A and B are shown apart, each in its own frame.
Chain A
Amino acid sequence: MTDVDHVRPVPDGAPQGAPSGGDATRLSDLLRQAALGDEAAFAELYDATSARAYGLALRVVRNPAHAEEVTQEAYLDAWRSSTRFDPARGSAAGWLLTIVHRKAVDRVRSVEAATARDETWNRETAPVDHDQTSEAAQASLEAARVRNAVATLTDVQRQAVELTYFGGYTHTEVATLLDVPLGTAKTRIRDGLIRLRDLMGVAS
């Protein structure tokens, strides 16, 4: 699947769901240049992806200072492991955001493990308003496409996918939160993602 730049004009008549090979190739090239030590290429990659990376980290960890740390760690990891990136195995943006998500989830889970013993720590559990998105995201056609695809999921699929991806909960925790058997939670998560994959035209 293509990379999705966060503000990318799409000419009229562009095939919906078709990968925008140009952007994906550009980011992939930047990452490969970075692997050769090209810091300017990495800066360009940062500029093209940082809103998504930071927004994702922020959504998962919620605390802006933590989100910055997570994002920075993820980019440093991406720089270090840029030599291991294989464009045949997915887009540069997908690869990078996988790193960001993993770090964000590790952060919320380790914060919970570390503070579970600390009675003074009070987890913020208020649900985030799903419609509250940044101006940049609102402006993005790609974001609109993703949102439209998400809207076609069943409510229970959407809930399961969002609790895991944005909430950072494990599938076992999601099953408990939703009071459904683990097998049901697994199925909702996978079926929801598969539906999104098909709607968004993601293919490996």
Chain B
Amino acid sequence: MSDMHKLTGAYALDALDDLERARFEQHLAECEDCRAEVVELRETAALLAETVATPPPAALRESVLAGISQVRPLAPEVRRTAPDHRAGAPAARGRGWMPFLVAAALAIIVGVGAMVTQPWATDDSGDVTKLTAAEQVLQAPDAEEVFLDLGEAGRATVVRSKSADKAVITTEDMVSAPDGKAYELWFIDGDTFTSAGVMPDVADQTVVLDGSAAQAAAVGITVEPDEGSKQPTSDPIAVFDLTEAT
């Protein structure tokens, strides 16, 4: 039994951090035994709620019912491409999500042209700007870059041009964020995090970061709720130290 199988209990109790959870969800997609066990252990865990049942304030009922009257239930999932389409459980997104090696901010010169791979094919979210803007940064004479080899999680490069006041992140083979979460980009200057937008869930892409890049000391990535956050709600999983950029 691999170590992963032993995580069913912790997973069912939401006791994994985002990184572990993503890794385990990747395992779940491939392990039927673990999927079955997780279903049972979640049911079991839910029974524990019985022992702390407390009637909520009456006003909550009105709020809930007023709330639902303004929202339509989601369209059902009609595309059943994988056996793991459980509500409330990791959706089968093909790829799981792996940790970044935060410390390994090794600056390596990478051929910029080779990094721009099919960036726009699957994205229409408006979170990214046009390729021309990316190209402007990538081809700027003062472009400097930090490359992170993220191991099994893929590779990512941040390129910043101070003259263009923009930065671009290019990912290759990057795994999806955990279910219900997204990667959010940040400009980091000391303790100040300024959101630079939410990354589309695409393995290979080039994204222009929102906002002014010239003064940033680093670019970070955190895992946030799908819609993004105004400030990070978790520690960065990757930091591109621009003072080390080449």
Contact = CB atoms under 8 A, between A and B. Distances in A.
A59 B52 contact: yes
A68 B56 contact: yes
A54 to B, nearest CB: 4
Interface string B167-201: 00000000000000000000000010000000000
B17 A134 contact: no
A46 B17 CA distance: 30
B13 interface: yes
B74 A143 contact: no
Contacts of A84: 74, 76-77, 85, 87-88
A142 B46 contact: no
B192 to A, nearest CB: 11
B64 A190 contact: no
Contacts of B191: 117
Contact of A200 (B47, B60, B75): B47
Q: Most chain-B CB neighbours within 10 Å: which of A90, A114, A150? A: A90
A78 to B, nearest CB: 9
B121 interface: no
Contacts of B51: 133, 137, 143, 146-147, 150
A152 interface: no
Given A80-B71, A84-B87, A186-B7, A166 B48 contact: yes
Interface in A85-144: 85-86, 89-91, 93-95, 97-102, 105-106, 109-110, 113-114, 117, 133-134, 136-137, 140, 142-143
Interface stretch (B35-43, B109-117, B128-136, B148-156): B35-43
Contacts of A86: 85-87
Given A39-B69, A150-B51, A81 B13 contact: no
A28 interface: no
B13 A196 contact: no
Instruction: Name the prevailing secondary structure of the A interface residues.
Output: helix
Interface residues of B, number: 60
A204 B36 contact: yes
B233 to A, nearest CB: 4
B10 interface: yes
Interface in B96-142: none
Contact of A193 (B41, B231, B233): B41
Nearest to B17: A170
Nearest to A203: B40
A61 interface: no
A164 interface: yes
Contacts of B43: 1, 90-91, 94, 197, 202, 204
Contacts of A109: 233-234
B79 interface: no
A58 interface: yes
Given A84-B77, A172-B17, A202-B43, A52 B65 contact: no
B23 to A, nearest CB: 13
Contact of B234 (A50, A71, A110, A161): A110
A94 B13 contact: no
B73 A34 contact: yes
Contact of B55 (A85, A136, A146, A183): A136
A52 B50 contact: yes
B86 to A, nearest CB: 5
14 contacts: A37-B72, A52-B49, A55-B52, A79-B68, A81-B87, A83-B77, A84-B88, A143-B53, A161-B48, A165-B45, A174-B15, A183-B6, A186-B7, A190-B7
Interface of A: 1, 4, 6, 34-35, 37, 39, 42-43, 46-47, 50-56, 58-59, 68, 71-72, 75-76, 79-86, 89-91, 93-95, 97-102, 105-106, 109-110, 113-114, 117, 133-134, 136-137, 140, 142-143, 146-147, 150, 161, 164-166, 168-172, 174, 183, 186-187, 189-194, 196-197, 200, 202-204
Given A136-B54, A136-B55, 10 more contacts: A1-B44, A71-B60, A97-B46, A99-B88, A100-B49, A142-B47, A150-B48, A166-B52, A171-B10, A196-B48
